[in-house]
Structure 1
Amino acid sequence: MTSTTLAAGLPIEHREQLMRNAREVSFDVGTRLFEEGRHADRFWIIRTGSVALDLRVPGRRAAVIESLGHGELVGWSWHFPPYLWQLGAEAATPVRAYEFDADTVRAICAADPEFGRTIAVWVGRVVAHRLQSARVRLLDLYAPYGSGSGSG
């Protein structure tokens, strides 16, 4: 389990505090959760299914950067101003997830600095992981010799 999953990323007391604000949702295959450049006002933690993260590439089809599954955070742009999605996301399979309102979670973070720091570190680890995944995937897709990682 990577440190980007909810269980590995947050201590139990902060996980429970976050989960008190969860709402259960589901998405059919092909449902767009969000579009790059639009307002980021919520985020999700996947219960079942998978979500494909994608990146617009001018003159080409959107490139799938990463596939997310059980326990993983979908969406980090809600945490950083100007709160605009940096990627797009689509349900690759039927998805059941916990949904969180970004304003509510940011308010809790502001009111409880320890919780806020824990969330910020967790989201930061997710961002770093996604950046590396995007780099490797784009090199695999578009560089003359790929990333050299053997993952393509």
Structure 2
Amino acid sequence: MARAKDLFDAMPPDRRRRLRDIAREVSLPRATRLFEEGRRADRFWIIRSGQVVLDQRVPGRQAAVVETLGRDELLGWSWLFPPYLWHLGAQTVGPVDAVEFDAAAVRDLCESDPVLGRAMYRYVAETVADRLHGTRVRLLDLYGPQGSGLDP
């Protein structure tokens, strides 16, 4: 699966500074619960090092891990689409360094700067499409008669 480009690289060069101005570097310890399915999505992150698992609740069982994210990947997109609620949960696997963004500030920036807003929506859409493709391949491996036919 192709890895999406870094968020800052996806922005027009003259807009990167505006986004960097509202970003903050964070260090998160191992086993930090970042968000829960169904709760308010008020932040998002670009992972710089470490890994974060995305999980989904399964009634009567432990949450099922659906994806693992790592370096330069976007963590969270529910903040961009009403009603701004997380669709999954997330937890750090080990220590994680990331760039954190306040969702409301980024949405305001996207509204006030259509060029930056278009770049942000495109970046998120490409990320979602890439992950959807990866999910399809994993489902074919699990349930397809011959698997996906793609080498791991």
TM-score normalised by length of structure 2: 0.84
Give the residue type in structure 1 aligned to 2:132.
Answer: L
Structure 1, gaps ≥5 residues long: none
Secondary structure of 1:83 counterpart: coil
Is 2:139 the partner of 1:130?
no
1:84-123 matched pairs, under 5 angstroms: 84-123=85-124
Q: Secondary structure at the match of 1:128?
A: helix
Asked whether the equivalents of residues 4 and 73 of structure 2 are also in contact (C-alpha less than 8 Å), the reply is: no
CA contact (8 A) 1:52 1:90 kept: yes
Q: 1:78·1:85 contact (CA, 8 Å) conserved in 2? A: yes
- Structure 2 unmatched runs, 5+: none
Separation in 2, partners of 1:87, 1:96: 21
1:148 aligns with 2:119: no
Is the CA contact (8 Å cut-off) linking 1:2 and 1:8 kept in structure 2?
no
Q: Which amino acid aligns with 1:65?
A: V
Of stretches 59-68 and 120-129 in structure 1, the one that deviates more from structure 2 is: 59-68
Question: TM-score, normalised to structure 1's length?
Answer: 0.84
Provide the residue aligned with 1:35 in structure 2.
Answer: 36
Count of paired positions: 151
Residues 30-69 of structure 1: matches in 2 within 5 Å? 30-69=31-70
CA offsets 1:30-81 (integer angstroms, 9 cap, x no match): 1111111111001011121111112233444323222212211110000000
* Aligned partner letter, 1:68: L
After superposition, the Cα gap between the structure-2 partners of 1:10 and 1:85, relative to the gap in structure 1 and judged at 3 Å, is: same
- Residue 12 of structure 1 aligns to a residue whose secondary structure is coil
Superposition RMSD on alpha carbons, in Å? 2.4
Deviation for aligned residue 1:122 = 0.5
* Separation in structure 2 between the aligned mates of residue 29 and residue 149 of structure 1, nearest angstrom: 35
Amino acid in the other structure paired with 1:119: M
CA distance in 1, matches of 2:71, 2:61: 30
CA offsets per residue over residues 2-34 of structure 1, 9 Å max, x none? 335325533333333211111121211111111
Task: Say whether the 8 Å CA contact 1:45–1:71 is kept in structure 2.
Answer: yes
